[in-house]
Amino acid sequence: MKALVFDHFGGPEVLQLRELPDPELKPGTVLVRVKAIGLNYADIYRRKGNYHLAGQPPYILGYEGAGVVERVADDVTELKPGDRIAFADVPHSNAELAIVPADRAIPLPDDTAFETAAGLLLQGLTAHYLVFDSYPVKAGDDILVHAAAGGVGQLLVQLCKLRGARVLGLTSSEAKREAARRAGADEVLLYGIDWPTAAVAWSRDGAGVDAAYDSVGATLMDSFQAVRTRGTVVFFGMAGADPAPVDPRMLMDTSKTLTGGDLWNHVTTREERRSRAAALFDWIREGAVKLEEPRRFALRDGADAHRLLESRASTGKIILIP
């Protein structure tokens, strides 16, 4: 099989398309012919060496994708060759073939394209637990969404609107501002202004927003300024830099809540993966959730895809096609 690999950590130039032996089927797994792969910032961190990688080079990136089952292990009964599946937490997806544990395989409806699944699952599952678990959004809430033009940001905006909330987005440019508005944000502010004060003024009673979803990190204390007394800040990323330490006395004095979010604490079972994914697929089918057209790159051009993602110039999902 062909796979996008690297032998040492570094920039996008370390990535090469290379012929490797086909992966071996193991008990409890299926062999999948990969049709589309989702590119995520975690792939960049792994390529740079910021995240731990098990095993020895050549390393294969990728955790998210969709394809067709080619073979199943003898002990796998719920899947068969020809089944369409997707996955969000399976390593080594940057290849023509991938080994997928059966309990991590998510059935893909016939009317859902491989590229849609590869562009939706990881970010969609993240948005789902944030809106339904970390801070359960309810009708009438005022919600602040950081990086509202990004993949998770656009989905957060749409899911919050589905729950009946008003949404204030934050972006870094006019082009991204328009992308957040297309996703359904009621208003969008740019980071260059005094946005915490503007967010408070925008809220329904001038007391602050009910919750802020912060994936930037460096903005965490500003998010606290934007939320009302007894409000909530959901911290789930550090795209901008590590956050400043939070004084628990501030939390006590303002009755504000800080909660963290990590997807892998919320999709720990096959049932969790499949039920949340099924909801996302249904919303896509109904038109209640829309995805921006993804940027497609051939797997051999993976280095160019990494450069685009690192440039932060893209707003939608980037996918690789083997």
Q: What is the pLDDT tens value at each position of the chain, 322 positions in all?
A: 999 999 999 999 999 999 999 999 999 999 999 999 999 988 998 999 877 777 889 999 999 999 999 999 999 999 999 999 999 999 999 999 999 999 999 999 999 999 999 999 999 999 999 999 999 999 999 999 999 998 899 999 999 999 999 999 999 999 999 999 999 999 999 999 999 999 999 999 999 999 999 999 899 999 999 999 999 999 998 888 888 999 999 999 999 999 998 998 999 999 999 999 999 999 999 999 999 888 999 999 999 999 999 887 777 789 999 9
Alpha-carbon distance of 235 to 221, in angstroms, equals 11
Alpha-carbon distance of 257 to 85, in angstroms, equals 38
Question: What pLDDT score was predicted for residue 232?
Answer: 98
- Going by C-alpha positions, the residue among 85, 88, 109 that lies closest to residue 31 is 85
HSE on the CB side for 283, CA within 13 Å? 22
Which value, in Å, is the radius of gyration of the alpha carbons in the chain? Answer: 20
HSE on the CB side for 262, CA within 13 Å? 4
CB count within 10 Å of CB 321 equals 16
CB count within 10 Å of CB 264 equals 9
CB neighbour burial string for 59-72, b if at least 16 within 10 angstroms, e if fewer: bbbbbbbbbbbeeb
The strands making up 2-6's β-sheet, listed across from edge to edge, are 16-19, 2-6, 59-60
SS3 126: helix
DSSP H or E segment with residue 309: helix 302-311
- Asked if 168 contacts 188 with a C-beta cutoff of 8 angstroms, the reply is yes
The single residue listed with the structure tokens 């809540």 is: 257
Distance of CA 26 to the CA centre of its chain: 28
Task: Please enumerate in sequence order all residues whose Cβ is within 8 A of that of 40, keeping only pairs 6 or more positions apart, or say none.
Answer: 63, 64, 122, 123
Question: What pLDDT score was predicted for residue 167?
Answer: 98
Question: What pLDDT score was predicted for residue 302?
Answer: 97
- Asked if 62 contacts 306 with a C-beta cutoff of 8 angstroms, the reply is no
Alpha-carbon distance of 212 to 291, in angstroms, equals 22
Q: Which domains does the chain have, with CATH numbers?
A: 2-121+266-321 (3.90.180.10), 139-260 (3.40.50.720)
- Asked if 258 contacts 235 with a C-beta cutoff of 8 angstroms, the reply is yes
Question: What pLDDT score was predicted for residue 194?
Answer: 97
DSSP H or E segment with residue 145: strand 142-145
Question: What pLDDT score was predicted for residue 82?
Answer: 98
Question: What pLDDT score was predicted for residue 240?
Answer: 83
Alpha-carbon distance of 131 to 141, in angstroms, equals 12
Query: DSSP characters for 195-264?
Result: HHHHHHHHSTTSS-EEEEEE-SSTTHHHHHHHEEEEEEEEE---SS-PPPPPPHHHHHHHT-EEEE--GG
Q: Is the N-terminal amide bond of 58 cis, ω within 30° of 0?
A: yes
The two tokens of residue 246 are: 């939070």
Alpha-carbon distance of 61 to 44, in angstroms, equals 9
- Asked if 49 contacts 9 with a C-beta cutoff of 8 angstroms, the reply is yes
